[in-house]
Amino acid sequence: MPFVKVVKNKAYFKRFQVKFRRRREGKTDYFARKRLVVQDKNKYNTPKYRMIVRSSNTNICCQIAYARLEGDIVICAAYSHELPRYGVKVGLTNYAASYCTGLLLARRILQKFSLDSVYEGNKEINGEMYCVEDNDDGPGAFRACLDVGLARTSTGAKVFAALKGAVDGGLDIPHSEKRFPGYDNESKSLNADVHRAHIFGQHVADYMKSLAEEDEEAFKKQFSRYIKVGVTADAIEDIYKKAHAAIRADPSAAAKAGKTVTKKRWTAAKIGLEARKAKIAATKAAFLAQIEDQKD
């Protein structure tokens, strides 16, 4: 078949429909979003909660939100930059920090709805599969669906660390073990020890030890922040254990420090009617006195 040039005529451009703004910006996958936010008709206006996980170069953001026509309404959020409160001062974007952020979000949302004492989650962190079950006598578990956005859902991805942290914290999120680190696709089984090592940052500790032995200069350059705060490879597991306990003890958000702002004024302040009358009277008296002096 010979090459035929496609000519886009006036009729094509008159009927052209642009995509949604966030699709044009490459920020939202509307195919996935539709399936995450559309609620069944027989459930009326019941919120359909999503656990949103987003990561940047310096931060992990976890939110619980539901959709409305005006936009998404976020009811709870947790960030990895809050982890220094709980003893994790460096490595705020790794797998272990993502787990801590998911755990913090779960405990915080359950505390908000007074479910933290009913659903305590999994306190024995061994890397194995764990699912929250509804209590027979009492409120059901808080259910949400994982929203990963445009992130690649490969095995061992950090979005699943946040998922695991939230599930261990007491949230009911549908998932399987197939994307956790340590899952073998051939044997169809999860090596819980590998997963536990990632949760407690042992993969980072092993890399620190190997790099320190191989290249001292590269180690000092790559782990300069760890060296600055005095974090060693042997201390990493204890740091995360203490962080998990501290998060369960007090998951509430820190109160914002009040700022004292001194406002600058570029125009004269209003002095009021009485002050204006007095000012005019004084100016008038000074002017009349000046005239009398000239006469003399």
Amino acid letter for position 162: A
Confidence of residue 1 (pLDDT cuts 50, 70, 90): low
pLDDT digits over 62-74, tens only?
999 999 999 999 9
pLDDT digits over 264-284, tens only?
889 988 899 999 999 999 999
**C-alpha 233: how far from chain center:** 27
pLDDT digits over 132-159, tens only?
999 888 899 999 999 999 999 999 999 9
> Cα separation of 163 and 180, whole Å?
10
Residues 6+ positions from 234 with CB-CB distance below 8 Å = 205
pLDDT digits over 103-136, tens only?
999 999 999 999 999 999 999 999 999 999 998 8
